[in-house]
Amino acid sequence: MTYSVAVSGASGYAGGEVLRLLSSHPDVSIGAITAHSNAGGLLGGLQPHLHSLADRVLSETTVENLAGHDVVFLALPHGASAEIAAQLPKDTLVIDAGADHRLEDPIAWEKFYGSAHAGSWPYGLPELPGHRDRLQGAKRIAVPGCYPTSSLLALAPGFSAGLLEAEDVVIVAASGTSGAGKSAKVHLLGSEVMGGMSPYGVGGGHRHTPEIEQGLSAAAGEQVRVSFTPTLAPMSRGILSTATARVKAGVDGDQLRRAWTKAYADEPFVHVLPEEQWPHTKAVQGSNHVALQLAYDEHAGRVIVSCAIDNLAKGTAGGAIQSMNIALGLEETAGLSHQGVAP
Amino acid sequence: MTYSVAVSGASGYAGGEVLRLLSSHPDVSIGAITAHSNAGGLLGGLQPHLHSLADRVLSETTVENLAGHDVVFLALPHGASAEIAAQLPKDTLVIDAGADHRLEDPIAWEKFYGSAHAGSWPYGLPELPGHRDRLQGAKRIAVPGCYPTSSLLALAPGFSAGLLEAEDVVIVAASGTSGAGKSAKVHLLGSEVMGGMSPYGVGGGHRHTPEIEQGLSAAAGEQVRVSFTPTLAPMSRGILSTATARVKAGVDGDQLRRAWTKAYADEPFVHVLPEEQWPHTKAVQGSNHVALQLAYDEHAGRVIVSCAIDNLAKGTAGGAIQSMNIALGLEETAGLSHQGVAP
Amino acid sequence: MTYSVAVSGASGYAGGEVLRLLSSHPDVSIGAITAHSNAGGLLGGLQPHLHSLADRVLSETTVENLAGHDVVFLALPHGASAEIAAQLPKDTLVIDAGADHRLEDPIAWEKFYGSAHAGSWPYGLPELPGHRDRLQGAKRIAVPGCYPTSSLLALAPGFSAGLLEAEDVVIVAASGTSGAGKSAKVHLLGSEVMGGMSPYGVGGGHRHTPEIEQGLSAAAGEQVRVSFTPTLAPMSRGILSTATARVKAGVDGDQLRRAWTKAYADEPFVHVLPEEQWPHTKAVQGSNHVALQLAYDEHAGRVIVSCAIDNLAKGTAGGAIQSMNIALGLEETAGLSHQGVAP
Amino acid sequence: MTYSVAVSGASGYAGGEVLRLLSSHPDVSIGAITAHSNAGGLLGGLQPHLHSLADRVLSETTVENLAGHDVVFLALPHGASAEIAAQLPKDTLVIDAGADHRLEDPIAWEKFYGSAHAGSWPYGLPELPGHRDRLQGAKRIAVPGCYPTSSLLALAPGFSAGLLEAEDVVIVAASGTSGAGKSAKVHLLGSEVMGGMSPYGVGGGHRHTPEIEQGLSAAAGEQVRVSFTPTLAPMSRGILSTATARVKAGVDGDQLRRAWTKAYADEPFVHVLPEEQWPHTKAVQGSNHVALQLAYDEHAGRVIVSCAIDNLAKGTAGGAIQSMNIALGLEETAGLSHQGVAP
């Protein structure tokens, strides 16, 4: 069976990546491709890398244009996706790459987004305990944020196994600039970002912080408190997260290593690298793979986990398609067999 | 039918790219993966982006290890491939990604490479007139150099159509650093190349010059003389060639455009972009696609053609696999459906 | 004596570079620093690299604010500078980093800029024959464009010496993105430009073409026709120009080399590198220096000249200050002793 | 008075930067410039950005060649500098940019460097309490490592003021590739590093960890334990450190801010930015400046400090010259007036 799929927000980076990955998916046919300000134009002019779809015309992002497909991907600004999703048929699989349905706690939502909470959907990170089940047969899926994807994959095994303290968790992540989207802003100009690094959203203000805490707290069974600092790196794609937490008394390095290798032993996309080999974002570039390594710093009493993903692939579009595969009962890796593109 | 394929030089960039593309090819199974100094090691430590092949062990590059496959890819230094190829069975399809068998003229070979000429093989650029035929059923294929690929695709249509003068052809090309290979050299360090550009091999000294002239002269039916200057750009992949030639008297812009669009009308990988849209190397990154645009500068009396390829894909491994497909009678695009990876 | 200097357009890249260089100039004091949309703000928020000027407040770009200084730098969009310059006192040294007063030919101006010609001023490229004299005591100076600076320095010696043909001159240049200015545009986002190259303004359409031809024709004493193609490189700063021209019959390589070395023998900023050493834009980054090398390609009958400058320094602000020094009778190198910043 | 200065290790990045900065220092004359494998060559071939020194010949790095100068800079591999320093006259000011004399604790030295401890020298970070005094008149100075410079400047004020807990200090730093030196290694090739990020020396293994703890413990008056993770960023220069520590009970955000602003109020190079403005490494590129910002994350109970330096300037050569100025009784900022080079 072939599923018809509509993609909104197709002129942006997330929408473009959904289309790139879907274009080689064996079980889908791409139906409506929609955008807002670029409606009416050819996809080839906006996403010139999507050669096989270059002649497709973008239609306006409306409920009418999206309805009638088996699957709808929403790659829209927060607020917009909730509004459209509410009007789509209940039996359409709606996958929201935006933030609207990620947070379970309405208070956290309102604090960080300043608007009414649209409710939460099954969370598209199947590698977290219990989440794969919830995605099977789901009709609404919230795609995790890119930083939460890498942060949760980095630390969840240690919290699930009860090896880490819930306080003083620190995550510093470097993201490629595509994470900031495709709208024209001076501080994102090539001239500004090439050759330099800077932090942003420091001090707990980044909207991904409550999402990270939500996931880690669920894994830990207690409230986890995270200091999260994102930085902007001079690269188009990729997130490298350095995540550290205090190890509980009596836990040793072997226990730590076993917790992570066991958690991901059967995962097709998450790779705990051989010891001494550290993740590099280029090794996962363009792919749904996750490269992960950990070290126990006995002196500091902390575990340090390094996790590399492609923010647009596993961090957005790849994770979304992986979740779609589960929801539809397809092979989980269907359409996601890309290796990393390196060097 | 599934063809067994061996890949030598697997620890380098060209060999790694052959493996990346072959790993999703529907008609092949990857047999021996060989290297020299890294023999015995795991591929995952050398090419960490090739996740599905991470556990494969590299064997030594020997005739014994390569023989017994239907297809052998040689991604070896020049000299080495000719030596091995001579010992491989006549009915094995041998595809040489190196230089040994590209040049037809022994004198040109000796002048630029300083060694005995190993002879020339069918040339793996099927988009050039007559070449696709020669590749069908071939048992030996010389993969074009990356600069010649982009230069010949840029200018051949104009010469084939008799629209261009054979003198004062000028090509200036910018290449990503992977074109210089993976051996450790100070001038290729990231610290040296990031944020800057420089030329090299200036003044006719680059080994790709005779190869470009060979192809353009064949298209023109007369000796074409090319001034070719390569430059090193701060990017890992990609070649952007700016190729210009004097237009013959009486030729107008419409004739020029028609020559190029007609030449590539049925080509699956070469795209003459809509007018006013110019090639960008990122739009072909990781793919076998070629983006091409031309403009007629009436004032200067010259046509300027801009051509973007991925030096490792269409410029090496992708072109090699495309040629393999033709030689084996497979679908020409098999295993090459990748879009560009952008941004 | 200390000269008071005003700088307009201070929130842009050109204005910022003028301020950076002036801040260590021994003979000037920086007076008004003006901008338009950012007037009223602190310079430190807009140009955080100018540490010693961080507390300076930007005033509005008006005639009133600029008048009353010995020197006024205009780093404004074309059109705007001519309008303001016309109202500044005749005895104020006005240095226009924009295009308004570069072209001598009103017809060329109108063709490429589509507005009325404001007249031409002494041209701030003292290394061209005769130009240094015209700058001495000048009260109005047009700063050359960045591409013309590198193109003219590359080829003028050969034309001045009568060694080159006036037809089929080809220049392909790669520029850092700061050459495109600081306004927010999608195609200049870091995500778009990092890791890739693309051409623009192809086919004679770039506004710098008539300026290059103006300078080369003056050097040659006949109309020179140039095919000029600019490309955008993934770096913040720098221009690498590859300039080639047909060598006249009977001219040999020694004559060529002598022409260039002689032309620049006494120039403090232009360096013909030792043979076999090729220019790299990073070696001139942040400095007013010019690195230049040439090769005679006998086979193609052409000279190839490679020229590296910093587009913002020698290509804009450095050239402007060098011209100011000459106009004011200061040491020509005053305030311009910066080495390149590499790696 | 003019001081004669010798610079060893002149073909490397640290040595090159010392020369770049010294070349515009008003109080020094550059004497011997020495190297090892490149002795006998011209500096211009190795450091083409040092235009004013291009014709200088490199001599061999020997005691004979270095002795007889007022000041000797050692930019040598660890081990080598201690050996040479021991043979230089006692009244020569010897400034070691290497590691040999940084650590006070012989046991820490032996653990991390595996050789005999050469003793410790006055530590060239005058912004730390008490250190400026020790540098005055000193004849031996150990230049801090680049990571320690940014880490100590980031956190020392909070520890000096008694506001931070000594456990669970976490520092994650991103460094440009020049920090890894100029020797040819595959993992430092441009093809490998451009467009990606990776960590290294994770888990307490990096040699800069004991140096950071030494400085913070001295500031705190108790043993501080640090989890330090360095990452390699795709840029030539710059370090961005994200340093976080648990705030002691009862301390509020105002106290934190006051501690930092007070500590650096009179420092010429360290700038606590206006609130909401975050450091960017490009704003300090090529300069001795330090950009610093902090935020109090009440939720996590931690302060986050972001600190940007140029690893080669303030992190190595600039810090070395600043210390030299203090030792010689010169103006502390002499020769260090460079602004950042941006964009």
**Residue C24, SS3 per DSSP:** coil
Give the pLDDT confidence score for residue D85 in this predicted structure.
95
Give the CATH number of the domain where residue A239 resides: 3.30.360.10
User: How crowded is residue B239: how many other Cβ atoms within 10 Å of its Cβ?
Assistant: 28
Residues of C numbered 292-331 whose beta carbons fall under 8 angstroms of chain B's beta carbons: which are they?
293, 295-302, 304, 306, 308
If phi > 0 it is left, if psi is from -120 to 50 it is alpha, else beta; for residue C55 that is alpha
A226 vs D293, D300, D308: nearest CB: D300
C·D CB contacts under 8 A: 105
Whether B194 and D235 lie within 8 Å, measured CB to CB: yes
Q: What does the alpha-carbon distance between residue B298 and residue B308 come to, in Å, rounded to a whole number?
A: 23
Question: Which subunits sit against D, judged by 3+ Cβ pairs under 8 A?
Answer: A, B, C
Structure tokens at C115: 């507005």
Q: How far does D281 lie from chain B, in Å, by closest CA?
A: 14
Residue A297, domain member (yes or no): yes
In the predicted structure, residue B161 carries a pLDDT above the cut 90: yes
Average pLDDT of the residues in D111-140: 96
Q: What does the alpha-carbon distance between residue A5 and residue D205 come to, in Å, rounded to a whole number?
A: 49
**Residue B62 burial class via C-beta count within 10 angstroms: exposed 0-12, middle 13-18, buried 19 and up:** middle
Give the pLDDT confidence score for residue D22 in this predicted structure.
98
Residue C340, domain member (yes or no): no
Average pLDDT of the residues in D25-49: 97
C195 vs D194, D271, D287: nearest CB: D194
**Residue D135, SS3 per DSSP:** helix
| Chain B neighbors of A340, CB-CB under 8 A | 48-51
User: How crowded is residue D266: how many other Cβ atoms within 10 Å of its Cβ?
Assistant: 8
Residue B172, domain member (yes or no): yes
Q: Which residues of A106-138 are buried (b: 16+ CB within 10 A; e: fewer)?
A: eebbeebbeeebbbbbbbbbbbbeebbebbeeb
Is residue A202 less than 8 Å (CB to CB) from chain D? yes
**Residue C171 burial class via C-beta count within 10 angstroms: exposed 0-12, middle 13-18, buried 19 and up:** buried
In the predicted structure, residue A80 carries a pLDDT above the cut 90: yes
Is residue B248 less than 8 Å (CB to CB) from chain C? no
> Looking at the DSSP assignment, which residues form a beta bridge with residue D240?
D174, D308
Same domain, yes or no: D113 and D175: no
C-alpha distance from residue A278 to each of A308, B115, D179 (Å) = 9, 42, 19
Same domain, yes or no: A319 and A302: no
- Per-residue pLDDT tens for C47-56? 999 999 999 9
Is residue B73 less than 8 Å (CB to CB) from chain A? no
Is residue C197 less than 8 Å (CB to CB) from chain B? yes
| Chain C neighbors of A195, CB-CB under 8 A | 235-236
Q: How far does D334 lie from chain B, in Å, by closest CA?
A: 28
Average pLDDT of the residues in A170-194: 97
Q: How far does D65 lie from chain B, in Å, by closest CA?
A: 27
Q: What does the alpha-carbon distance between residue A87 and residue A72 come to, in Å, rounded to a whole number?
A: 12
Same domain, yes or no: C321 and C282: no
| Chain C neighbors of D274, CB-CB under 8 A | 42, 44-45
Instruction: From D233, D246, D17, C54, select the one nearest A300 (Cα to Cα).
Output: D246
Per the CB < 8 A criterion, the answer to whether D208 and D237 are in contact is: no
Total domains present in chain B: 2
Give the pLDDT confidence score for residue B275 in this predicted structure.
94
- Per-residue pLDDT tens for B321-336? 999 999 999 999 999 9
B204 vs C234, C279, C299: nearest CB: C299
Same domain, yes or no: C197 and C270: yes
- Per-residue pLDDT tens for B216-262? 999 999 999 999 999 999 999 999 999 999 999 999 999 999 999 99
| Chain C neighbors of A180, CB-CB under 8 A | 191
**What is the model's pTM?**
0.98
Is residue C234 less than 8 Å (CB to CB) from chain A? yes
- Per-residue pLDDT tens for C58-79? 999 999 999 999 999 999 998 9
Give the pLDDT confidence score for residue C206 in this predicted structure.
84
| Chain A neighbors of D300, CB-CB under 8 A | 168, 204, 225-227
Give the pLDDT confidence score for residue D257 in this predicted structure.
98
| Chain D neighbors of A296, CB-CB under 8 A | 203
| Chain A neighbors of B277, CB-CB under 8 A | 44-45, 48
Q: How far does A198 lie from chain C, in Å, by closest CA?
A: 12
Same domain, yes or no: D184 and D196: yes
Residue C48 preceded by cis peptide, ω within 30: no
Same domain, yes or no: C93 and C220: no
Is residue D146 less than 8 Å (CB to CB) from chain B? no
Residue C338, domain member (yes or no): no
How confident is residue D334, by pLDDT bands cut at 50, 70 and 90?
very high
Average pLDDT, chain A: 97
Give the pLDDT confidence score for residue D203 in this predicted structure.
87
Whether A227 and D302 lie within 8 Å, measured CB to CB: yes
Same domain, yes or no: A182 and A123: no
Q: For an interface test with C, give the residue of A46, A194, A311 to mutate (most C CBs within 10 A).
A: A194
Instruction: From C57, C21, C24, select the one nearest C40 (Cα to Cα).
Output: C57
Q: Which residues of B are catalytically annotated?
A: 146
**Residue C252 burial class via C-beta count within 10 angstroms: exposed 0-12, middle 13-18, buried 19 and up:** exposed
B195 vs D180, D193, D236: nearest CB: D236
Same domain, yes or no: D284 and D320: no
Same domain, yes or no: D172 and D303: yes
If phi > 0 it is left, if psi is from -120 to 50 it is alpha, else beta; for residue D212 that is alpha
Give the CATH number of the domain where residue C38 resides: 3.40.50.720
Q: What does the alpha-carbon distance between residue B173 and residue B206 come to, in Å, rounded to a whole number?
A: 12
Residue D174, domain member (yes or no): yes
Residues of C numbered 160-189 whose beta carbons fall under 8 angstroms of chain A's beta carbons: which are they?
176-178, 180, 182-186, 188-189
In the predicted structure, residue D96 carries a pLDDT above the cut 90: yes
ipTM of the prediction greater than 0.95, yes or no: yes
Q: How far does A218 lie from chain C, in Å, by closest CA?
A: 34
Give the pLDDT confidence score for residue A120 in this predicted structure.
96
Is residue C37 less than 8 Å (CB to CB) from chain A? no
Is residue B51 less than 8 Å (CB to CB) from chain A? yes
Per the CB < 8 A criterion, the answer to whether C48 and D280 are in contact is: yes
D51 vs C194, C237, C271: nearest CB: C271
Provide the residue range defining the domain that includes D19: 3-144+314-328
Same domain, yes or no: A186 and A155: yes
Same domain, yes or no: D68 and D156: no
Q: Which residues of C are catalytically annotated?
A: 146
Whether B271 and A20 lie within 8 Å, measured CB to CB: no
Is residue A13 less than 8 Å (CB to CB) from chain C? yes
Phi/psi of residue B193, each to 5°? -95, -30
Give the pLDDT confidence score for residue A205 in this predicted structure.
76
Q: Which residues of D are catalytically annotated?
A: 146
Per the CB < 8 A criterion, the answer to whether C15 and C37 are in contact is: no
Whether D198 and A281 lie within 8 Å, measured CB to CB: yes
Q: What does the alpha-carbon distance between residue D253 and residue D275 come to, in Å, rounded to a whole number?
A: 12
Average pLDDT, chain B: 97
Average pLDDT of the residues in B144-155: 98
D13 vs B184, B191, B234: nearest CB: B191
Name the residue in chain A with its Cα closest to that of C175: A191
In the predicted structure, residue D174 carries a pLDDT above the cut 80: yes
Is residue A273 less than 8 Å (CB to CB) from chain B? yes
- Per-residue pLDDT tens for A242-269? 999 999 999 999 999 999 999 999 999 9
Q: Which has more confidence, A267 or D201?
A: A267
Name the residue in chain B with its Cα closest to that of D236: B191
Average pLDDT of the residues in B80-96: 96
Walk along chain C (343 residues) and give the pLDDT tens digit of each residue. 899 999 999 999 999 999 999 999 999 999 999 999 999 999 999 999 999 999 999 999 999 999 999 999 999 998 999 999 999 999 999 999 999 999 999 999 999 999 999 999 999 999 999 999 999 999 999 999 999 999 999 999 999 999 999 999 999 999 999 999 999 999 999 999 999 999 999 987 789 999 999 999 999 999 999 999 999 999 999 999 999 999 999 999 999 999 999 999 999 999 999 999 999 999 999 999 999 999 999 999 999 999 999 999 999 999 999 999 999 999 999 999 999 999 9
Q: Which residues contact C235 (CB under 8 A, 6 or more apart)?
A: A194, A195, B194, B195, B196, B197, B234, C176, C177, C281
**Residue C35, SS3 per DSSP:** strand
Average pLDDT of the residues in D234-256: 98
Is residue D217 less than 8 Å (CB to CB) from chain A? no
Q: How far does B240 lie from chain D, in Å, by closest CA?
A: 17
Q: For an interface test with A, give the residue of D175, D198, D214, D309 to mutate (most A CBs within 10 A).
A: D198
B184 vs D177, D180, D185: nearest CB: D185
Structure tokens at C275: 């043979």
In the predicted structure, residue A175 carries a pLDDT above the cut 80: yes
- Per-residue pLDDT tens for B173-216? 999 999 999 999 999 999 999 999 999 999 877 899 999 999 99
Residue B302, domain member (yes or no): yes
Whether B203 and C293 lie within 8 Å, measured CB to CB: no
Give the pLDDT confidence score for residue A272 in this predicted structure.
98
- Per-residue pLDDT tens for A45-62? 999 999 999 999 999 999
Per the CB < 8 A criterion, the answer to whether B162 and B120 are in contact is: no
- Percent of chain D exceeding pLDDT 70 equals 100
Residue B118, domain member (yes or no): yes
Per the CB < 8 A criterion, the answer to whether B82 and B118 are in contact is: yes
| Chain C neighbors of A192, CB-CB under 8 A | 190
Give the pLDDT confidence score for residue B206 in this predicted structure.
85
C-alpha distance from residue D149 to each of C131, C221, D32, D314 (Å) = 48, 58, 28, 8
Whether C302 and B227 lie within 8 Å, measured CB to CB: yes
Opening angle at CA B204, ends B269 and C214, nearest 5? 90
**DSSP structural state of residue B57:** B
Sequence-ordered alpha helix ranges (H) in chain D: 13-22, 43-46, 63-66, 80-85, 106-113, 131-135, 146-160, 190-193, 208-220, 253-263, 318-328
Whether B285 and C196 lie within 8 Å, measured CB to CB: yes
C-alpha distance from residue C242 to each of B46, B51, B237 (Å) = 36, 41, 21
Same domain, yes or no: A153 and A19: no
Residue C333, domain member (yes or no): no
Q: Which residues contact B331 (CB under 8 A, 6 or more apart)?
A: B325
Whether A202 and D306 lie within 8 Å, measured CB to CB: yes
CA B315, B316, B322, B328 torsion-angle sign: positive
B202 vs C189, C281, C306: nearest CB: C306
| Chain D neighbors of A306, CB-CB under 8 A | 198-199, 202, 229
